[in-house]
């Protein structure tokens, strides 16, 4: 009946409210690194006696779809279960652990090596995937999220991704673009990429010769990325705070460009309106505070790895590459992944 975000962070509260959620401000006692989800939920219930059922959705499982949550809510409300949690089916053979220094052999846990079968012929096992936990109030007040009349909900493997450590991020990003939920509104193809020149296309450094001529450097990989975008029918336009018209002319990138800009957002809006595009069809790559509003407005936004903190907070994607060192090419690849998602949705 209601959607809440439990947080002690001002920025998270602001974003939650922007998207229509209500906010419960956590106390410092349940906002520690060692605090558990159960502690935060229990505190929430102490302030909201009208709540009978809680669905705890984990932020580290970004491929969750509303259709799954609707089915689980029905299991609680109509089928009489006290708790329902998410699982995924895995086909992995388990062996007992042998600690270093122990003089013993490992033992099979869920297979017979003498009659080993192909994993694809085996029904597999169910594992909690941490995506969500639904429970009635009386269970949580006793101190647990699973109990009473229990049931599991098996999620599709492609929707089951859990972020635990850094190396899970690229896997999650790929999985979200391929199988994630993007809302009821149909996905739009990106048709325009606007890229800030200094700090994105270049590394931001300016070399000045003795005769007062400026020189900058850029990465050939980024020019390839721009060319690939053009081949896919995506316009690439460049923008800069400073007057770098001579530099742009020397680069010979064949892109519409505007230099010496004092209001980047206004230029971006003018281009978007002139091309008759929705904001979901516009991508923006920036790196400075002057890019922040553009990053927030564009349907797809990115920054190089060395962008300022304000730009990183506003962006939807942070490149692994630094400005002038392949960031444009990397962001182009990110756009191509979205295009694959759009094409896949159309086929379905």
What amino acid positions are annotated as catalytic residues? 116
Cα–Cα distance measured from residue 348 to residue 340, given in angstroms and rounded to the nearest whole number: 12
HSE of 85, CA atoms in CB hemisphere, 13 A:
17
Phi-psi region of 20 (alpha: psi -120 to 50; beta: other; left: phi over 0): left
SS (H, E, C) the chain: CCCEEEECCHHHHHHHHHCCCEEEECCHHHCCCCCCHHHHHHHHHHHCCCCCEEEEECCCCCCCCHHHHHHHHHHHHCCCCCEEEEEEEECCCCECCCCCCCCCCCCECCCCHHHCCCHHHCCCEEEEEEEEEEEEHHHHHHCCCCCCCEEEEECCHHHCCCCCCCCHHHHHHHHHHHHCCCCCCCCCCCCEEEEEHHHHHECCCCEECCCCCEECCECHHHHHHHHHHHHCCCEEEEECCCCCHHHHHHHCCCCEEECCCCCHHHHHHHHHHHCCCCHHHEEEECCCHHHHHHHHHCCEEEECCCCCHHHHHHCCEECCCCCCCCHHHHHHHHHHHHHHHHHHHHHC
């Amino acid at each position: 009946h209601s959607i809440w975000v439990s947080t002690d962070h001002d920025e998270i509260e602001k974003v939650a409210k922007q998207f229509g959620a209500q906010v419960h401000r956590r106390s410092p006692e349940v906002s520690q690194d060692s605090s558990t989800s159960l502690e935060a939920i229990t505190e929430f219930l102490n302030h909201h006696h009208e709540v009978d059922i809680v669905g705890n959705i984990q932020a580290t499982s970004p491929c969750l779809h509303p259709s799954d949550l609707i089915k689980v809510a029905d299991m609680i409300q109509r089928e009489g279960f006290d708790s329902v949690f998410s699982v995924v089916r895995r086909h992995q053979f388990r062996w007992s652990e042998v600690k270093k220094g122990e003089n013993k052999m490992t033992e099979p846990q869920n297979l017979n090596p003498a009659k080993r079968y192909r994993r694809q012929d085996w029904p597999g096992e169910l594992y909690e995937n941490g995506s969500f936990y639904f429970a009635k109030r009386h269970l949580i007040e006793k101190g647990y999220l699973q109990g009473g009349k229990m049931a599991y909900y098996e999620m599709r493997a492609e929707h089951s991704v859990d972020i635990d450590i850094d190396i899970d991020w690229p896997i999650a990003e790929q999985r979200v673009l391929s199988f994630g939920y993007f809302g009821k509104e149909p996905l739009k193809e990106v048709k325009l990429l606007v890229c800030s020149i200094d700090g994105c296309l270049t590394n931001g450094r300016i070399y000045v010769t003795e005769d007062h001529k400026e020189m900058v450097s850029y990465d050939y990989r980024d020019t390839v990325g721009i060319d690939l975008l053009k081949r896919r029918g995506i316009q690439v336009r460049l923008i800069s705070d400073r007057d770098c018209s001579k530099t742009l002319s020397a680069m010979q990138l064949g892109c519409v460009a505007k230099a010496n800009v004092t209001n980047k957002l206004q230029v971006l809006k003018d281009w978007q309106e002139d091309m008759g595009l929705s904001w979901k069809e516009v991508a923006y790559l920036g790196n400075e505070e002057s890019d922040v509003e553009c990053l927030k407005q564009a349907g797809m936004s990115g920054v190089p790895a060395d962008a300022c903190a304000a730009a990183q907070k506003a962006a939807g994607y942070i490149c692994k590459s630094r400005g002038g060192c392949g960031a444009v090419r990397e962001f182009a690849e990110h756009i191509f992944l979205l295009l694959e998602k759009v094409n896949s949705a159309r086929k379905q």
